[in-house]
Amino acid sequence: MSVVISDQVLRSLQMTEAELQQEIAVLFFQQERFTLGQASRFAGMNQLAFQHLLADRKIPLHYGIAELQEDVKSLEENNWQ
């Protein structure tokens, strides 16, 4: 599914496309709808940069079994065994 957001809407929000993606990622991470990995990918950032973004906003990390499994899967896919 694709969502198209017009340049006019971005201008009215005074945001870039990347900033809007980050805001959505942060929101879904806070609501625990995205894992850390999912949120960082959606935001177009590596996990460390996304963690810094969360820390700057004083948003705590929630790291559970789902995140651990996702990290292990990601490492396996990248041959980090």
| 22-67: pLDDT as tens digits | 999 999 999 999 988 899 999 999 999 999 999 999 998 887 787 7
For residue 13, being part of any structural domain is answered with yes
Instruction: End-to-end CA distance of the chain: give it in Å, rounded.
Output: 33
In a domain, 2, yes or no: no
Residue 25 falls inside a structural domain: yes
Q: Furthest-apart CA pair in the chain: how many Å?
A: 47
Tell me the pTM.
0.74
Q: Is the pLDDT of residue 75 over 90?
A: no
Confirm if 44 and 54 have CB atoms less than 8 A apart: no
Structure token digits, residue 47: 């996990």
Say if 42 falls within a structural domain: yes
- Domain count for the chain: 1
In sequence order, the 6+-apart residues with CB closer than 8 A to the CB of 45 are 22, 53
